[in-house]
Amino acid sequence: MKAKKLFGTDGIRGRFGEWPLTLEIISACGRAAAELLNGKPPCKVIIGRDPRASGTQIEKLLSDGLRAEGAEVYSAGIIPTPGLSYLTRDGGFSLGIMISASHNPAEDNGIKMFKGNGYKLSDREEARLEKNIYAFLSRPGRNRPTGRLRRVASKPYLDHLRQTVNGLSLKGEKIVIDCANGAVCDYAERLFGGLGAKVVVLNNRPDGANINRGCGSLHPEVMAEAVKKEQSSAGFSFDGDGDRVLMSDENGRIMDGDQIMGITARFFQKQGRLVKNTVIATSMSNLGLEKFLKKSGAVLVRTDVGDKYVLREMLRQKTNFGGEQSGHIIFLDHASTGDGMLTALQLMRVRQQTGISFSRQDQGFFRYPQLIKNVRIAKKVDLLSLKTVKARMDSVLKELGEDGRLVLRYSGTEPLARIMLEGPKKKTIIRMAEDIAEAIEEAIGINGQAGS
């Protein structure tokens, strides 16, 4: 029987104590990670976590497994994911392991890993690690952990963030920060307050169970309301592990990753810092971002959904800026992964150096109505090989022209075909989605011809 896949889009993630985050798998993951590093001395591993209650137990299981296989293990304690990535690279570690389920509820947790250069493991490396995990599960370890779990300071990460905006003063600025009761709680106020801003902090009392609950980037309206009430210059809403951020302008208007990328890219262009005048984003980024960038001569290149795919394309094309609509923004000149606090700092620098309020920074950005429709299917085949489906797709694309976008793909984890449509009018794209969905259902749907 083939083993089930442990790694998803962003590491191993699930409810603690249940597959794929059972105690046995976590322990085997530590041992397998150490074996992955064999032949790469010194075998030093750093572990970080967000404030979820299960984090300390997962850290111990990973640490025991790593040390049983001879690794030196260091703990950074509670730290944002990008902070763990930075310390891995800056501290000369062979591997960094972050314990977090990002924006998921507190009952969930996860494990994601960074190589010594601060980049996430590739799909091939994850596949190799997964094979090792299952091998260890089939032969329980006999070695006892050696050495001890050492502590490492996280101050170098904050110092690094300050250096990315060297000389920036936020005196006179008032900003709202929603920490999501997550990993940025001990960092964000020190960072922005230390640069002179008056900081209004929300949801920075983590208790192990309240991470992301009714707050943070999943609920940016909380931050936006506070911006209006406090008459602030801006607001920033982080997720549980601090690798993404959404923002609000001074009027309480919520702005997502597409608007953040548009504002920042134009600023970089004027400074001659946007390499190849190119922004790397995913298939989910709105057509409005593409047209906004085009007005200033910049190009949007799309890749698969997931910040690691954005990074991979950035490295392939040798560009320096990209991200996701969700708020994962990658400044490759400063970081090797998405970083919410770094993004917020860069945005405040844009405001300071231009003297233009955020409500005016994205003028001319038109967000096209976007619709996603799922169709449950009996089997997966090449959608373009289905004549009726292709005919309706061709008809939709012809009608949309340059004023819309169609993405048709399968879910990676469920028996679903996903239809993503953008166009100038909501009613029009609803009709188009229904037409394509009907063709898919007739061809390969559960109750359609192929499913009967």
Residue 4 has pLDDT above 80, yes or no: no
Per-residue confidence at 107, pLDDT binned at 50, 70, 90? very high
Residue with tokens 């940025």: 184
Q: Which two tokens stand for residue 314?
A: 């950035």
- Contact status, residue 232 vs residue 249, Cβ threshold 8 Å: no
Q: pLDDT confidence of 451, banded at 50, 70, 90? A: very low
CB 309 within 8 A of CB 351: no
Q: Tokens for 161? A: 């963030």
Query: What's the pLDDT score for residue 414?
Result: 79
pLDDT at 412 exceeding the cut of 80:
no
Structure tokens at 156: 């170098």
Tokens standing for residue 377 = 């299917």
Contact 47, 59 (CB under 8 A): yes
Tens digit of pLDDT for each residue in 263-287?
Answer: 999 999 999 999 999 999 999 999 9
Q: Where is pLDDT greater, at 182 or 449? A: 182
* 102 a catalytic residue: yes
Average pLDDT on 78-82 reads 98
Contacts of 415 (CB under 8 A, 6+ apart): 376, 377, 378, 380
Compute φ and ψ for 298, nearest 5 degrees: -95, 160
Reported as a pLDDT band with limits 50, 70 and 90, residue 126 is very high
pLDDT cut 90: percent of the chain above it? 87
Residues 23-59 have pLDDT tens digits of 999 999 999 999 888 655 568 999 999 999 999 999 9
Give burial (CB, 10 Å; 0-12/13-18/19+) of 257.
Answer: buried
CA 332/CA 306 separation, integer angstroms: 16
CB 175 within 8 A of CB 192: yes
The one catalytic residue among 75, 94, 102, 217: 102
Task: Find tokens 């029987």 and name the residue.
Answer: 1
Angle (nearest 5°) at CA 31 between 30 and 37:
95
Cis peptide leading into 220, omega within 30 of 0?
no
- Ordered by where they begin, the domains of the chain are 12-155 (3.40.120.10), 164-361 (3.40.120.10), 370-444 (3.30.310.50)
Taking the C-alpha atoms of residue 45 and residue 268, their distance in angstroms, rounded to an integer, is 36
- CA pair distance 199, 193, nearest whole angstrom: 6
pLDDT at 74 over 60: yes
257 vs 117: CA distance, rounded Å: 25
Which tens digit of pLDDT belongs to each residue from 288-345? 999 999 999 999 999 988 898 999 999 999 999 999 999 999 999 999 999 999 999 9
Evaluate whether 238 touches 184 at the Cβ level (below 8 Å): yes
Give the pLDDT score at 372.
Answer: 92
pLDDT tens digit sequence for 289-298: 999 999 999 9
Confidence of residue 452 (pLDDT cuts 50, 70, 90): very low
CB 324 within 8 Å of CB 257: yes
DSSP symbol at 143: P
pLDDT of 198 reads 98
Other Cβ atoms closer than 10 A to 236 = 28
C-alpha 327/C-alpha 442 separation (Å) is 37
Instruction: Return the minimum-mean-pLDDT range out of 251-255, 390-394, 407-411, 422-426.
Output: 407-411
Share of the chain above pLDDT 70, in %: 96
Please tell me the distance from the alpha carbon of residue 67 to that of residue 129, in angstroms, as a whole number: 17
Which pLDDT score is estimated for 215?
Answer: 98
- pLDDT score of 3 more than 80: no
Query: What is the reported pTM?
Result: 0.91
pLDDT of residue 305: 85
Residue 193 CA to residue 197 CA, distance in Å, equals 5
pLDDT for 42 equals 63
Q: Which residue has the tokens 């406090």?
A: 230
The pLDDT of residue 450 is 42
Phi and psi torsions of 314, nearest 5°: -60, -45
CA distance 316 to 314: 5
pLDDT (average), residues 207-217 = 98
pLDDT in tens, 140-197: 766 788 878 899 999 999 999 999 999 899 999 999 999 999 999 999 999 999 999 9
What does the block give as tokens for 251?
Answer: 């009027």
Helix/strand/coil (H/E/C) assignment for every residue in 113-138: EEECCCCECCHHHHHHHHHHHHHHHH
